Amino acid sequence: MRIEEKRDQIVEELMPFEDHFERFAYIIDRAKGHPPLADEYKIDTFLIEGCLSQLWIFPEFKEGKCYFYTDSDAAITKGTAALLCELYSGETPEDILSLEPDFLGVTQHLSPNRRNGLTNVRKKIKAYAELCLKNH
């Protein structure tokens, strides 16, 4: 599945929820299905700055593709970060750099601090993709 198709699928999953509280409940439920990040990766190196919650993103590069794993001490933060990790995991650095996420009805209902944290997650993912592109 192409990265654009993955994005469209996520958007389609969120579309039926007209109320943003229902949408967040769905995102939180999805987050519960994500495995926790191993404690060895819950370190400052992988901590996302600008977020009120503790939020970690662990990147990995294998066989020409990037993978991202996340965890947080707040369910909504973990859920929104997990959406980005799902979107960009298994993609080439070029594809990651070419596609901005567009999750209808999610970001505008986040608090400014959570929105800032999500923006920083995207920046971290982009920076890792750029690093992989340079080094591989």
Choose, from 51, 66, 85, 132, the residue flagged as catalytic: 51
Specify whether 66 is catalytic.
Answer: no
Q: Which residues contact 9 (CB under 8 A, 6 or more apart)?
A: 1
The answer to whether the beta carbons of residues 17 and 26 sit under 8 Å apart is yes
SS (H, E, C) 37-90: CCHHHCCHHHECCCCCCCEEEEEEEECCEEEEEEEECCHHHHHHHHHHHHHHCC
| Catalytically active residues, by annotation | 51
